[in-house]
Amino acid sequence: MWSFSKISNILDSWLSETFSPTWTMVIEMVIAGICVITLFALLGLVLVLMERRVAAWIQIRLGPNRVGPGGMLQSLADTVKLLVKEGMTPDGADKFLFNLAPIIAMMVAMLLMAPIAFASNFQLWDLNIGVLYVTAISSLMVISILMAGWASNNKYSLMGAMRSGAQIVSYELSAGLSIMAIVVLSSSLNLNDIIQSQADGWWIFKGHIPVFIAFLIFIIAVTAETNRAPFDLAEAESELTAGFHTEYSGMKFALFFLAEYINVFIVCAIGATLFLGGWMPFHIGHWEAFNHVMDFIPSSIWFFGKTFFLIFLIMWFRWTFPRLRIDQLLDLEWKYLLPISMFNLLLVTLMAILGWHF
């Protein structure tokens, strides 16, 4: 009774009866696009406010408390400021690539939304190779960063972009190996199949220590991939002014700023799907009464609750650990995380073959 599928089915039936199949598909795609854009706008407002609140809580200070009740409208005020601010293009910049870079960043973020299951029977595209799709599309984000750094005709922007390229390409390996651990256990690349495989318990609990290690490595790797502190070497304000987006202002800067937070939401949504069951309620084996009570909580609440819990962890990292040097960042990946991930994947494979998981 809590599923969004009823609304989508009613809308699909009405459109099918009113329009031809071609126009029905076009209208549904337009509606889906509008919903994703609306979700982007809401997530941007919520996550920026959440970031400030988490920072204030960790640093024992007040945080936003002027605009709106309890500072709730501070993000909206900042959005208006960015919308009316003049966009500047530096002399000597490649104007086409300079303007294209933030658009590509947002396009990649929108594409990544497609296979995510936000609730039971509610996703844009049920793709049978959803995990492969996510890992392939997410790697395109580095193109927009490299493009922005090179096209800006600024040495600080270029240095930040090159750092980001090395960082993202490196940490994609550990993130991919961590994801493969769940693919091995669930025997599927389909995100819905992975969620269904956790009906009797989330993988982080029934996969024993190897899956917990994969989860920790995944969180560290995606924190680095999204250029979040303590891995924000691409933006390092104390060294590179603002890194790859030094020359951006106004709406172009807003797109990069929004894309960063949307990417944080997406990687946390993927992490929640793979390790914490996605929209699947918390079930324990054959405890029918307990599982029945858990089923009363809407599936969308489960999904967003898990996702925002992981977002909180990533924000906690930012306001707890100091920024690494670039050599320390690469050493962490190539000397520690990658070897551990490879050995851990072998353990998970052995565990799956012998059936040692719950």
Tens digit of each residue's pLDDT (9 = 90 or more) over 33-67: 888 889 998 999 999 999 999 999 999 998 888 88
| Residue 128 DSSP SS3 | coil
Check: CB of residue 244 under 8 Å from CB of residue 252: no
CA distance readout (Å), 89 to 29, 92, 102, 161: 34, 9, 13, 18
How far is it, in rounded angstroms, from Cα 322 to Cα 325? 10
Q: Residues 294, 283: contact at Cβ < 8 Å?
A: yes
Report which of 59, 55, 79 is spatially closest to residue 67, judged by C-alpha positions: 79
Which pLDDT band holds residue 283 (cuts at 50, 70, 90)?
Answer: confident
**H or E element that contains 140:** none
Return the pLDDT at 1: 43
Which amino acid, residue 156?
Y
pLDDT in tens, 78-136: 889 888 888 888 888 888 999 999 999 999 999 999 999 988 888 888 888 989 999 99
Give 3-state DSSP helix, strand, coil % of the chain, rounded to 5.
70, 0, 30
Type of residue at 5 = S
User: pLDDT at residue 291 above 90?
Assistant: no
Question: Residue 86: exposed, middle, or buried by beta-carbon count in 10 A (0-12, 13-18, 19+)?
Answer: exposed
For 155-179, the pLDDT digits (tens) are 888 888 888 888 888 999 999 999 9
CA separation for the pair 122, 2 (Å, rounded): 11
Q: Give the pLDDT of residue 190.
A: 92
CA dihedral 10, 13, 17, 23 (to 10 degrees): 110
pLDDT for 213 equals: 95
| Residue 238: pLDDT over 50 | yes
pLDDT over 60 (residue 185): yes
As a whole number of angstroms, the distance between CA 295 and CA 284 comes to 12
pTM for the model stands at: 0.91
Tell me whether strands 122-123 and 117-119 are parallel, antiparallel or unpaired.
Answer: antiparallel
Whole-number Å distance between alpha carbons of 150 and 312: 33
- Strands, E, within the chain: which ranges? 117-119, 122-123
Average pLDDT, the chain: 88
Domain ranges of the chain: 86-354
- Which phi and psi (to 5°) does residue 210 adopt? -55, -40
Burial class from Cβ neighbours inside 10 Å (0-12, 13-18, 19+) for residue 316 reads middle
Could you tell me how far CA 89 lies from the centroid of its own chain? 29
| In the chain, % of residues over pLDDT 70 | 97
Q: What is the pLDDT of residue 358?
A: 62
User: If DSSP codes are grouped into helix, strand and coil, which group holds residue 295?
Assistant: coil
What secondary structure letter does DSSP report for 115? T
User: For tokens 């937070």, what's the residue?
Assistant: 261
* 68-74: Cβ within 8 A, 24+ apart: 74/49
pLDDT the model gives residue 271? 95
Q: So what's the pLDDT on residue 159?
A: 87
- Classified as helix, coil or strand, 298 is coil
